[in-house]
Amino acid sequence: MRDLDITEQLQQQVQQAIVAKQPVKISGSGSKDFYGREPVGEVLDTSGHQGIINYEPKELVVTVRSGTRLADLNAVLAEKGQMLAFEPPAFGADATIGGTIACGFSGPRRAAAGSARDFVLGTRIINGKGEMLRFGGEVMKNVAGYDVSRLMAGAMGTLGLLLDISIKTIPQAFGEITLKRECTYQKAIERMNELAGIDLPVSATFFDGLTLYIRLSGAALAIEAGEKRIGGERTDNTIWDNVREQRHAFFSQDKALWRLSVPCDAEYFELPGKQCIEWGGALRWLVSDADPKEVRSVAERAGGSAILFRGGDRSGDVFHPLTEGLQTLHLNLKQSFDPDGIFNPGRMYGEF
């Protein structure tokens, strides 16, 4: 990992783009190119903006430049016995922390620990006027001004270019085991919800269609007590890396991959294709050639939404359509951060 601050260069590039009215596609390593709608515009490369600006393990906070490789950041934290609580997927060896936050990606620990946005404490950004702005900070509690930092998480770079991000870190678990047991879909959903309602050190759940996997994290005695209560057979912890990075056999398909975010107690969906479950029931992956309209309406009826995660037609709707009231707010916010529509136009929704 290099220690290089290219803020000035990035700011100049944004300012030039504004003058030329030339949209840019913000990109780190390009590992998330598959995600969102088809990118347009000239590449604005952030991968050179690298390094840890500040890391205080005792304060549980790290401030990192957006182009820093996720793998490098994870290694720095691991050295001090800490980690990113939201356990983000990388989807590529060179994935950057900037791209991870912009996409708002969280991994297996999300239901137990929280999401990427939950752990964002502060950001420094360049907005669509070419101004460098800082929001939030390095402290856990901060209610001065609107929470613009968290707004950046998951905004797909459409509101501004992320320069640095301050993230809350957590200690690594003292120990971790994985238990497995075969069951039906409905039983898996029930079991996941039942366990989440009891004080147990469950840190991740996954159901592949046949087998329910449960990860326990914590002190050795706590894990043992949890194991006794939950039951099942011990298995290898590597399953979680495979699920997170979508290397698990479930994901090797040539059909479209849908990601359904639904209430955790939603029942099994009658849709063509294969489904697996994560996040205590709240995340359903679907490999299917079903009509996108049908997938979205099924998710919506259950009180959730659907994203066309990989494959399919990436020039149409990829993210779940917004209600009219929300769409107005989105257009207004886009206007307020990026009045000339420079950043990642159309990457999230066709309208902006």
Q: Which of residues 110-129 bind another protein (CB under 8 A)?
A: 110-111, 114-115, 117-118, 127, 129
Q: Which residues pair with 171 in a beta bridge?
A: 82
Site string for another protein, 156-185 (x = CB under 8 A): ---x----------xxx-x-----------
224 lies in the binding site for another protein (CB under 8 A): yes
Residue 302 CB, shortest distance to another protein, in Å, is 8
CA dist 180 and 191 (Å) reads: 12
Q: Which is nearer to another protein, 45 or 138 (CB)?
A: 138
CA-CA distance, 261 to 266, in Å (whole number)? 10
Q: How far is the CB of 254 from another protein (least distance, A)?
A: 26
CB of 133 to another protein, least distance (A): 5
Tokens of 233: 């057979």
Task: Decide if residue 232 touches another protein (CB under 8 A).
Answer: no
**326 near another protein, rule: CB under 8 A:** yes
Cβ-based nearer residue to another protein, 30 or 154:
154
Give the number of other Cβ atoms within 10 Å of residue 202's Cβ: 21
254 near another protein, judged by CB under 8 A = no
- Phi and psi at 287, nearest 5°, equal -105, 115
Question: With respect to another protein, which residue has the nearer C-beta, 45 or 164?
Answer: 164
Residue of 213, 258, 279, 309 interacting with another protein (CB under 8 A): 279
Choices 232-240, 269-277, 287-295, 316-324 (CB under 8 A): range interacting with another protein: 316-324
133 binds another protein (CB under 8 A): yes
How far apart (Å, rounded) are the C-alpha atoms in residues 108 and 189?
16
- For residue 267, give every residue at least 6 positions away whose Cβ sits within 8 Å of its Cβ, in sequence order, or none: 186, 189, 302
> Given candidates 28, 36, 304, 345, which one binds another protein under the rule CB under 8 A?
304
Query: Is 199 one of the binding residues for another protein (CB under 8 A)?
Result: yes
Contact window for another protein (CB under 8 A) among 18-26, 205-213, 242-250, 324-332 = 324-332
DSSP 229-295: HH--EEE-TTHHHHHHTT-SGGG--SSEEEEEE--TTPPPP--SSEEEEEGGGTEEEEEE---HHHH
Q: Name residues contacting another protein, limited to 60-79 (CB under 8 A).
A: 60
Choose which of 337, 343, 345, 346 interacts with another protein (CB under 8 A). 337
Residues that bind another protein (rule: CB under 8 A) add up to a total of: 84
Nearest residue to 304 (alpha-carbon basis) of 263, 349, 272: 263
% helix, strand, coil for the chain, step of 5: 30, 25, 45
Binding of another protein at residue 289 (CB under 8 A)?
A: no
Q: Which of 24, 26, 90, 155 binds another protein (CB under 8 A)?
A: 155
The span from the CA of 44 to the CA of 338, in Å, is 16
Other Cβ atoms closer than 10 A to 144: 8
